[in-house]
Each structure stands twice: as structure tokens, then as C-alpha cells.
Structure 1
Amino acid sequence: MSKVEIRTVAADEADIRLDRWFRRHFPHVTHGALEKLLRTGQVRVDGGRVKGNHRLEPGQEVRIPPLPAPGEAAPPKTISAEDKAFARSMVLYEDDTLIALNKPPGLPVQGGSKVVRHLDGLLDAFGTGDRRPRLVHRLDKDTSGVIVVAKGASNAAWLASLFKGRDLEKTYWAIALGIMVPRAGEITGYMKKTVSNQGDRELMVAARHGEEGAQYALTRYATADEAGRRASWVVLRPETGRTHQLRVHLAAAGHAIQGDGKYVCDVPPLGGVSQKLHLHARKLVIPREGKKPLVLEAPLPKHMTDTFEALGFDAGMDMRAVEAQLG
């Protein structure tokens, strides 16, 4: 067993979840074992109790209790051939700095107490230890599309800084209920996290400027096509990266996303099509010094392709004029 030690969060570990940080430094400690250490207060941040989803800041001190040596712990689980093939099937692009994946709907990005299969766990398909890719941003479980993972600590720090700023261009496609008026514009406001009656920690609600926990959010949108007055194909560009931002903003505008059971509006959902969430991270443009920007695009998942066909939307149309309205 090791002794109690204090570790300082490094600059390139900004905004990383504690459970991910722990897995990076102590890969032999299982998720279940870490959760027990957190529940009993043996792992602390700056002397306080925290949960696994706590996001760390550079300079914070993490208390590490006595841990079994790697040889004393159970051997790490190996990824199955099936999961390795599945992970590889998601690859859209790969170079020396990153891997771009097309995440399917329903796949969580990170693990939890009741989550067994998740994207972070599938990254073992691409290497272990220092060779293992690192998450630098997230998508909601039911949102599909482009997500990138970094190769190495320096690339992770570079990409994480881009996602925290406004240098990346993120474009989403959604099926919104009803007709957006005006057809293009901005949705702004403040929002904060709250706890629902069902104990959902990820529920966002409208907030006032200056209110504790309130964060400003800005989304630009443009309508690509309409299906009568039933639904709109909306192209979205979040200028800020708040939790559930696009879902909250469209519902607040009175045009919730088809299949969203959490953020709803007065317009009834479409019948005769999939009730899965119709929100897709379609494109990501990453600036690169001395090179052309890297443009990553992900094809629609099947449930959205089927809905596009049912509504008469052409996913292959030239989007330049629509995206020009996003500024």
C-alpha cells in the first residue's frame, strides 16, 4: 500500500473531471473503488469532499489516500474484440494529434454508477497508458456526431483551450418542432444547473444575470428547410458551450427538438417518425497554425436520415448560403 500524498493539478489538466484525472494517474484503481473512496471522503480536493464529476482547476490539490500497488490490484479489464471493432468503426479522421469520431446516439461519453459501456472506455481500442487518447469535450448521451479525442497531454491541452474559447466553429443540425420565426437569428440568455424532482443533476433552467451559478449563453441559428408548419430543419452554431445549451435554447424559443423529453414546448412532437433526439453535431472546424483549418463532418444517424426523408429534407443540399447566415 502507498502512503497518503497530495498531488497538484497541472496546467494541462484544466477542466478535467476528477474521475478521469484519477484514471489517468492511477489506471489500476477501478471506477467502483474510486467511488467508494469518494463516498468515504478519502479522496478530497483542496480539503473538501467532491464527486467524481467535479472538474479540476490547475493548482488545486488532490488528496490521495493509501492505494494498493498496481501488482496488488486486479488486472485491468481488456477491451473485447467486438468493442475494439465498434470503436474503430466510429473513426472519421485520424492524424498525429487527434482522432475524430462519429458518436452514435445513446452512447454516453463518460461512465457513471449505472453506465457500463461508454466512449471513454472504448478509447482503450486506440492504445493504453500515455498512448491512450484523451477526451477534451463532450456530447450529450443522445446527441450524435463529431467528437474529437487528443493524442498526448500537449495536444489535449491545445484542444481543450480551443473548446474553452471561441476559435472552434461548431455546427449542429436539428429537427425543431414548428416554424422558427424569424428564420435566422440569435437566441441568448442566462442559464444555470439545478436539480429536478427526479434528482437529475444535468437539468438546466433559465436564470437572471448576476444570479448564483448563472452563465451567459449565445446560439446562432438559421433555417435550412421547413415541412409545412410541422417542423424545421435548423442549423445551429453555439458560440458558448453550456450544458444542454442548444436543447434549452430551442425549447425556450417555443420550438423544442424532436425527441427531446427533457426540454419541451407547447408544440406537440411529430408522429410517425423516430422519438429519439434529433440533434446531430454535423461539423467541426479546427484552426491549425500554418495549415488550412481541419474540417470534420459526420453523416447523420439512421433515425435522422429516416426523418429527413419522411419530411422531404435533402441532407445533400449545398449548405453554404444557410451557414453564411450564422455569421
Structure 2
Amino acid sequence: MNHYNRFMPLLCTSLDPHGSYKAYEVIATEEACNGRIDKFLADVLHISRNKIQDSIENQLVEVNNHVVKCNYMVQFGDVIRANLPIPIDLDVLVPEDIALDIVYEDDDLLVINKPAKVVVHPDETYRTGTVANALCYRYKDLPLKDNIPTRPGLVHRIDKDTSGLLVVAKTAESLKSLASQFYHHTVDRTYYLLVWGNPKNDSGTIDVHVGRNSHNRKIISSFIDNQQGKRAVTHYQVVKRLNHVTLVICKLETGRTHQIRVHMKHIGHPVFGDMLYGGNVIGSGQWYASYKAFVQNCLKIMPHQALHAASLGFQHPVTNESMFFEASLPENFVKLVNKWEKYVT
């Protein structure tokens, strides 16, 4: 059943440095009445509801020349005008002259120390400025992970706001071998993190399934019944207790998306500064004004999750030699820990 009697794209113009928008006009028929506008437009235009909602929140959707909210109920005869993002072409990777902190390199692979705030490969939010763009500029014939043009040599990834070590394959043989090692969980990976609270045990293992949240795909959820998601195993050990926060080292047995962040939240100790999983608000201690100000200053020092991929070990894909690399904590991570140490004393 059609929910509209006219659907006409009007124009396409660049409105945002991260992409383009297309303007649409839709006139609602009687069948569309009493439905939310975000759902109505998603059904009619075949664009994700999240993108529709983002455009509505940014006041890019009007009904009868008036800006509306997501819960507006569509009425018969409504003239809806919407500026909605055009899906970017993820099949094209633009080479960019971006410096890489290369820890090791040979003919078969390289190991990079990625800073926080840098994305590994393009997605719908970050089109340029990624590690992949830098690799594309520096190397011309890297093998493609899963035959995806925007994944040159990328065996694995770490989150944008996580710093630390990445291994990149330079040949198809290396990519196949390294990908197999990650798949079979034979790669040695450790992370340093600062978490809220004081874990009960000095060490432990978190064996809890994780998977995409059914309501928000940007969020990963933990599933205690182990009937959903995929198995994820994280081993942790306390390095230093600082009253309201604790420095911890984690070793990954599996490598699921956001695994450490979700697992630490699951046991009640979210990663400090983690905006997605509740680490950017006070998670331990009294809400005194002075303490609140101290925490805010800490968040300014490190305005993202305190998580660092500190070591990476694997078998060389050609020589079979055992390779092991370490990356020191970033300067702002060190300053953050020092600030908490001074506060404790």
C-alpha cells in the first residue's frame, strides 16, 4: 500500500563537510495518518530511521513549513520536506598524506601505534583522516581485508578513542596468516585501562556473551544468559588501586567489538571517560563540589576512554618467528594516572 501520492527529489547540495544531503518532498495520503514521522519517512524513503531522527533533531525536516520533532504524527495532506544524508560511497578510499607512527616494518607487515581520536577505516561518520587513508597514500598494493576497498591490509581494528598497536599486512599471504591467528585467538593482546571503582578481586575472568543492542546498533550489550550474541572472554588483573578508580591490565582471549568496555561495565567498573558506556560521569566517590571539579579536570586531561592497546604478540606469517611489540602509555594517560595518585595521597 502506498503511503504517499507524490515523491520527488528536489535538489542535491553539499551542506556538511562530512557528506552531502538530498532534499525530498512527500505529501501524505490518508493511509499515512497517525504514524510517527520518523517511521513514515524511513518506510517511504528507505533510509535508516536513525538517520531520519538525526535530521529531525538537526531541524532539517519540516511539515507544512514548520520544524517538527520525531514524535510528530503524520496527518492527511501534510507536505513534508526533508534534507536527508546521501549514503557515502564506501567503495572509494581517498589517499591522504597522514603521518603514521610505525613501530616495526618489513616486507610482509608493519605494526602501527595509533593515537586516540583516529579512526582505523572509513565509515558513515568518518570518511577521511583514517589509518586506511594514510595506508592508501603510503602503499599502493596492500591486500584487501574481506575484499573491501576501504580495508587495505587491515587485519583487525581498535576503537577510534582507543590508542595503541595495530598490525597491518602488506601481502595477501600475510593477511591470510594473520587473519587466521586472530580468528583462532592465538594473538597475544593486552590493554591498560583506568576503571571506575575498586574491583573486589585482584584478578579474574569475564566470560559473558556480547552483541549488538537491538534498539541501538552503536551500542554493544552483554547477555548473561549466553543465548544471544557471541562468546567473549576477558582476563583482567589489578595494577594499582587509587581509591575511586583502579588501573587495570586486560588480556583478550577473544576480540569482540567494544569487548573490554562492555565487560568492565558488566562487572560494575566502566572504563574512565567512556561516554558510550557510562564512564564519563562519576562512578565512585561522594558528589562533593570539590571532588566533582577534580573529576571534570581529569576528563579534560583525557576526554575519551582511558584504554590503550599496550602489547601485541603474534607469529610472523612468513618466518614463523614469534613477534612481540609494546607501546608506552600516551602522555595524557600518564598525566591522568599521576593526577589520581596525587589526589589519593
| TM-score between the two structures when normalised by the length of structure 1 | 0.64
AA of the residue aligned to 2:275: G
How many matched pairs? Answer: 233
Q: Indicate which of 92, 95, 100 corresponds to 2:111.
A: 100
2:138 is matched with 126
- SS at 1:124's partner residue? helix
Distance 1:179 1:158, change over 3 A: same
CA distance in 1 between counterparts of 2:305 and 2:210 reads 21
Going from structure 1 to structure 2, the CA distance change for 1:244 and 1:290 (only over 3 Å counts) comes to: same
Give the alignment partner of residue 277 of structure 1, picking from 305, 311, 319. Answer: 305
Q: Which residue of 2 aligns with 1:286?
A: 314
Q: Secondary structure at the match of 2:232?
A: strand
* RMSD over equivalenced CA pairs, Å: 2.9
Higher relative contact order (CA 8 A, sep 6+): 1
Equivalent residues in 2 for 1:130-279 (5 A)? Answer: 130=142, 134-196=153-215, 200-209=216-225, 211=227, 213-227=228-242, 229-264=243-278, 267-268=283-284, 270-273=295-298, 274-279=302-307
Structure 2 CA distance for aligned equivalents of residues 179 and 210 of structure 1: 26
**C-alpha displacement of 1:301:** 1.9
Q: Which amino acid aligns with 1:307?
A: L
Q: Does the CA-based 8 Å contact 2:143-2:169 persist in structure 1? A: no
2:4 matched residue in structure 1: none
Q: Deviations over 1:12-56 (max 9, x none)?
A: xxxxxxxxxxxxxxxxxxxx9xxxxxxxxxxxxxxxxxx9xxxxx
2:96 to 79, 93, 98: 79
SS in 2 for 1:129: coil
Query: Aligned AA for 2:305?
Result: L
Match of 1:295 among 286, 302, 324: 324
Conserved 8 A contact 1:143-1:277: yes
Output the amino acid matched with 1:272.
N
Residue 308 of structure 1 aligns to a residue whose secondary structure is helix
| Counterpart Cα distance in 2 of 1:131 and 1:207 | 35
Report how far residue 189 of structure 1 moved. Answer: 1.1
Q: Percent identity?
A: 28
Letter matched to residue 221 of structure 1: Y
Contact 1:183 1:222 in 2 (8 A): yes
| TM superposition shift of 1:78 | 4.6
User: 1:292-315: CA deviations, max 9, x gaps?
Assistant: 5211111222221211221339xx
Q: Looking at CA atoms only, which structure, 1 or 2, has the larger radius of gyration? A: 2
| Alpha-carbon separation, structure 1, partners of 2:120 and 2:94 | 19
Say if 1:130 and 1:222 are closer, same or farther in 2 by CA, change over 3 A: closer
Unaligned runs of 5+ in 1: 1-31, 33-50, 52-74, 314-327
CA distance, structure 1, for counterparts of residue 125 and residue 264 of structure 2: 29
The whole-number CA distance in structure 1 between the counterparts of 2:308 and 2:94 is 32
Q: Deviations over 1:148-171 (max 9, x none)?
A: 100111100100011111211100
Amino acid at match of 1:177: W
Cα shift at 1:208? 4.9
CA deviation vs aligned residue, 1:190-210 (integer Å, no higher than 9, x gap): 1221244xxx52311122546
Q: Which amino acid aligns with 2:141?
A: G
Q: Partners in 1 of 2:175 and 2:122 — Cα distance?
A: 19
